[in-house]
Structure 1
Amino acid sequence: MRRYRSKTAAAWLAFALGAFGAHRFYLHGPRDAPGWLHLPPTAAGLAGAVRLQTLGQDDRAAWLLLPLLGLMLSQAMLCAMVLALTPDERWDARHNPGRPGRRTGWAPVLAAIVALMVGGVVLTSTVAYGGQKFFEWQLGPGAEPPGPQKR
């Protein structure tokens, strides 16, 4: 018989290690294909962060890869919120069939609150960074931004 799957543990795993798919492995085991699909974009985003740290902001590969990390962290926060806010009855019916239900209390709600705050900051930062770098790339080096012409 499968072991009990805790909603609290799944929500906090999604918050802490969701970009690596830890919550998927906890819920579905190591053969979960979507869990393994979390790793390549997260690793690419981490490589972009390392490149940004070592080569600076002008490295094009870094600004292409770094938003992947932001998007993976954002989706992990969304997963944490969805898992945490699933009603206890539906959670037990899906992940703990045939077992008596357990009340989860406030721990998953706190996970959802923290994930909402962190996810909002990460997603906003990712969009701002990606947008800034995209428009810098569009203008090219030494280009004047559009606006009133000086005479």
Structure 2
Amino acid sequence: MTTRAEAVLDTARAPRSKTLAAWLAFLGGPLGLHRFYLYGLGDMTGWLLPIPTALGLYGIERARMYGLDDGWSWVLIPFVGFTIAGCALMAIIYGLTTPERWNARHNPQVPPDALPGRTNWFTIGAVVLALLVGATVLMSSIVFSFQRYFEHQIEEGRRISQ
């Protein structure tokens, strides 16, 4: 249930642009910027998104310091990749949402076909880049984790057999 104060605040806020939300999800998604833009600073998911990003960046730093044979690095690195891929997916979802559905969900105070929910070339650019980068990062993360996992299994098998 929405209280009277929330209803007044909701109608007073500026309409949320689908294009800006898609670009924020693509460029600043791992930091939760798109969530803060759409739902405000009280959004818990927005505050939680930097955690797997930081873990993945810590894994990259461990790989630089200790080499790729470090077990923790190959466990931690995919966190940043999967977070980037998930945020790219959100950018695609935002960009492909119909104007009526976007405005009904994020801009209930404006007409269903209002400008903030419309798709333009900048929105399409965000979708195309998010698809390109997101798919590349996702596949790279999957390949990296499986490669390191199977190499670890082979090493353990060799160690057991000796």
Same fold (TM over 0.5): yes
Aligned with residue 26 of structure 2, among 9, 15, 20? 15
Cα separation, 1, equivalents of 2:149 and 2:128: 32
Partner of 2:137: 122
- 1:70 alignment partner in structure 2: 81
**Partner secondary structure for residue 143 of structure 1:** helix
Aligned mate of 2:122, from 100, 104, 107? 107
DSSP-derived class of the 2:127 partner: helix
Match of 1:131 among 146, 149, 154: 146
User: Partner letter of residue 118 of structure 1?
Assistant: V
The one-character-per-residue Cα deviations of 1:123-146 (angstroms, maximum 9, x if unpaired) are 1101110000000111116939xx
Letter matched to residue 17 of structure 2: S
TM-score normalised to the size of structure 1?
0.90
Secondary structure of 1:140's match? helix
Secondary structure at the aligned position of 2:68 is classed as coil
Task: Tell me the distance in 2 between the aligned counterparts of 1:10 and 1:55.
Answer: 38
d(CA) in 2 for partners of 1:13, 1:82 = 13
Unaligned stretches of 5+ residues in structure 1: 145-151
Distance 1:7 1:38 in 2: 20
1:53 aligns with 2:64: yes
User: Which amino acid is the alignment partner of residue 115 of structure 1?
Assistant: A
In the comparison of the two structures, how many residue pairs are matched?
A: 144
TM-score in terms of structure 2 length: 0.84
Tell me the percent identity.
46
Greater alpha carbon shift after TM alignment, 57-66 vs 102-111:
102-111
Q: Answer whether contact 2:95 2:119 (CA < 8 A) is retained.
A: no
